[in-house]
């Protein structure tokens, strides 16, 4: 972890830049994968599964027998944990539904907005070094609440052609039956363009490696929507003298273990706190199964000492972290000042992993500074907002002159006439 003491504000812009790779060099190969799947469909998916996943599939779709058998392979303890997380996520996301509110903007002019589910959505769930069944909950629960008519799940198979039992069990819990054994850019292509086994969808959700990330960006240019700009995972922790160094180190490592390209940042006003956290990082890292990933991520990470809490807040807002942890005694005084963050964890007993798994909030969040302009996934991500209006005869007479004047000023005579022709008819009555 790189240690920086009281950096000048004019250096902050350079410090908040992520150590991301230039992914444009991946585009030619990914474009070829997209073309192959678009042109050859299932045949391309089977070919690419053998090439990239080392598996010769007999079928691209998980069978009912496989889905049913998965339940027996998941321990009762894990089932209970998944069910509890499911309940919390469902409760939190159900409360996000907006009732229809009709507004009369002037006499005879009524306007309202209605949320309508996106009919066809695709969920990409990684299944390699970390089978993210938790992400399936985060995406599948709001899709179900929204009422999406068709939900397609793509996840890469293991070497024996199987899908991780926890993913199949969670899919079954959510009522998702169209499960495709496909990973990487080819899975994104299948959901974007459609194949014999994979229906094309209108919006694609889910995290993935750099190939998946670039593939999502590329298909979005063809008219398929994606959830949000995503990249390597990250966390920023603000810690004061009241923080427990072991807790802080554990939070930093919880994100560092995602992958070598993840980044973690510690902000503190105390050099002693930073030193204690560094010692804890070393001790905890040594016993982690994924220590190689975490160790690489720490090389790209920062420990920064700043002069005040206000400076920590300003730096954090500039960094715009995916996850922000306020491990400080009176975090309440800073809440109103937080403007850029994906998800915020308050106090010493709110670990980031609570949001990753079971507290109820969604863990699909903007990274790489995109929290300055993007929200994380929510119920809103699975619906469109359609506006309606109804204008009575009286309403058109009330608002007509305003429309005619504005349309004429813009030189759009047909717009004006669409009102004028109606007003003439009303005046004859």
Q: What is the pLDDT of residues 335-366, one digit of tens each?
A: 999 999 999 999 999 999 999 999 999 999 99
pLDDT tens for 387-425 read 999 999 999 999 999 999 999 999 999 999 999 999 999
DSSP class of 51: I
Q: How far apart are CA 182 and CA 109, in angstroms?
A: 51
Instruction: Please give the pLDDT value at position 396.
Output: 98
DSSP string covering 145-187: HHT-SEEEEEE---TTS---HHHHHHHHHHT--EEEE--HHHH
387, β-bridge pairs: 113
For residue 343, being part of any structural domain is answered with yes
Instruction: From 188, 211, 226, give the residue that closes a domain.
Output: 226
115 pLDDT more than 90: yes
Annotation says 404 is catalytic: no
Note the pLDDT of residue 22.
77
Strands, sheet with 343-346, edge to edge from the N-terminal-most edge strand: 2-5, 302-305, 263-268, 234-239, 323-327, 343-346
Strand-pair category, 120-124 with 2-5: unpaired
Which residues belong to the annotated binding site for substrate?
Answer: 233, 255, 258, 323, 356, 410, 415
**Residue 307 binned pLDDT confidence (cut-offs 50, 70, 90):** very high
pLDDT band at 229 (very low <50, low <70, confident <90, very high): confident
Say if CB 364 and CB 99 are below 8 A apart: no
Which of 178, 205, 226 is at the close of a domain? Answer: 226
Residue 65 has pLDDT above 70, yes or no: yes
State whether 156 and 33 are in the same domain.
yes
- Give yes or no: residues 317 and 200 share one domain: no
pLDDT(128) > 90: no
Query: Which pLDDT does position 156 carry in this prediction?
Result: 96
Binned at pLDDT 50, 70 and 90, residue 299 comes out as very high
- Kindly state whether residues 142 and 260 are assigned to the same domain: no
Q: Are residues 235 and 324 in the same domain?
A: yes
d(CA 111, CA 105): 7
- The stretch 117-142 carries a mean pLDDT of 93
- The tokens describing 411, both together, are 């030189």
Same domain, 321 and 286: yes
How far, CA to CA in Å, does 342 sit from each of 23, 50, 154, 233, 287? 23, 37, 25, 11, 29
Specify which residues 54 forms β-bridges with.
none
**How high is the pLDDT of residue 31?**
97
Residue 296 has pLDDT above 80, yes or no: yes
Average pLDDT of 131-149? 97
CA distance 412 to 406: 9
> What end-to-end distance do the CA atoms of the chain give, in Å?
80
Question: Could you tell me if residue 294 is inside a domain?
Answer: yes
Instruction: Say whether both 179 and 290 belong to one domain.
Output: no
As annotated, the binding site for NAD(+) includes: 124, 186, 209
Nearest to 187 by CA among 143, 162, 151, 153: 153
275 and 206 housed in the same domain: no
Query: What's the CATH number where 399 sits?
Result: 1.20.5.1300
CATH of the domain at 261: 3.40.50.1980
Return the ∠ at Cα 386 (arms to 385 and 388), rounded to 5°.
140
CA 33 to chain centre: 24
* Number of structural domains the chain divides into: 3
What percent of the chain is modeled with pLDDT above 90? 93
Q: Which residues contact 314 (CB under 8 A, 6 or more apart)?
A: 9
Q: Could you tell me if residue 383 is inside a domain?
A: no
Residues 129 and 201 in one domain: yes
- Contact criterion met (CB below 8 Å) for 144 and 173: no
Mean pLDDT across 273-278: 98
Per-residue confidence (pLDDT) for residue 363, from 0 to 100: 97
Q: Report the b/e string of 5-18 with b at 16+ CB within 10 A.
A: eebeeeebeeebeb
The dihedral over CA atoms of 390, 392, 397, 403, expressed in degrees to the nearest 10, equals 10
Please indicate, yes or no, whether residues 200 and 316 belong to a single structural domain of this protein.
no
Q: Is residue 6 part of a domain?
A: no
Question: Are 259 and 338 contained in the same domain?
Answer: yes
Question: With bands split at pLDDT 50, 70 and 90, how would you rate the model's confidence at 119?
Answer: very high
Residue 84: which residues within 8 A CB-CB, separation 6 or more?
Answer: 358
Q: Is 93 noted as a catalytic residue in this protein?
A: no
Catalytic, out of 234, 257, 322, 352: 322
203 inside domain = yes
Range of the domain at 401: 392-428
Task: Answer yes or no: is pLDDT of 129 > 70.
Answer: no
Q: Which residues are annotated as a binding site?
A: 124, 186, 209, 233, 255, 258, 323, 356, 410, 415
| One domain for residues 160 and 86 | yes
Catalytic residue among 323, 348, 363, 394: 323
pLDDT tens, 26-36? Answer: 999 999 999 99
Residues annotated within a binding site for Zn(2+): 255, 258, 356, 415
pLDDT above 70 coverage of the chain, percent: 99
Task: Confirm whether 183 is domain-assigned.
Answer: yes
| Strands annotated E in 253-347 | 263-268, 302-305, 323-327, 343-346
In a domain, 381, yes or no: no
């Amino acid at each position: 972890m790189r240690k920086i003491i009281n950096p000048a504000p004019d250096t902050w812009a350079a410090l908040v830049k992520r150590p991301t790779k230039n992914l444009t060099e991946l585009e030619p190969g990914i474009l070829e994968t997209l073309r192959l799947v678009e042109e050859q469909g299932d045949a391309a998916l089977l070919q690419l599964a053998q090439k990239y996943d080392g598996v010769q599939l007999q079928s691209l779709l998980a069978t009912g027998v496989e889905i049913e058998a998965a339940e027996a392979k998941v321990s009762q303890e894990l089932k209970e944990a998944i069910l509890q997380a499911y309940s919390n996520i469902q409760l939190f996301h159900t409360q996000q539904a907006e009732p229809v509110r009709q507004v009369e903007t002037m006499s005879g002019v009524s306007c309202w907005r209605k949320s309508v589910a996106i009919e066809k959505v695709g969920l990409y769930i990684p299944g390699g070094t970390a089978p993210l069944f938790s992400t399936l909950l985060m995406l599948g629960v709001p899709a179900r609440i929204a009422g999406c008519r068709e939900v397609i799940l793509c996840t890469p198979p293991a070497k024996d052609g199987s899908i991780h039992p926890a993913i199949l069990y969670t899919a079954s819990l959510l009522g998702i039956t169209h499960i495709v054994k496909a990973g990487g850019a080819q899975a994104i292509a299948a959901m974007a363009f459609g194949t014999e086994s994979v229906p094309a969808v209108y919006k694609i959700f889910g995290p993935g490696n750099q190939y998946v990330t670039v593939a999502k960006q590329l298909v979005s240019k063809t008219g398929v929507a994606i959830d949000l700009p995503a990249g390597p995972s990250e966390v920023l922790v603000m810690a004061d003298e009241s923080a427990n160094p072991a807790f802080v180190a554990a939070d930093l490592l919880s994100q560092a273990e995602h992958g070598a390209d993840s980044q973690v940042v510690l902000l503190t006003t105390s050099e002693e706190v930073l030193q204690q956290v560094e010692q804890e990082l070393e001790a905890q890292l040594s016993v982690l199964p994924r220590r190689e990933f975490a160790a690489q991520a720490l090389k790209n990470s920062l420990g920064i000492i700043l002069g005040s809490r206000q400076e920590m807040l300003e730096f954090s807002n500039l960094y715009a972290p995916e996850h922000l942890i306020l491990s400080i005694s009176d975090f309440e005084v800073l809440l109103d000042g937080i403007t850029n963050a994906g998800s915020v964890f308050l106090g010493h007993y709110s670990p980031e992993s609570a949001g990753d798994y079971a507290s109820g909030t969604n863990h699909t969040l903007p990274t790489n500074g995109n929290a300055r302009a993007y929200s994380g996934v929510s119920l809103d991500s699975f619906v469109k907002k359609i506006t309606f209006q109804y204008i009575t005869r009286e309403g058109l007479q009330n608002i007509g002159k305003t429309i005619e004047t504005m349309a004429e000023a813009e030189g759009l005579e047909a717009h004006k006439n669409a009102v004028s022709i109606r007003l003439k008819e009303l005046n004859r009555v």
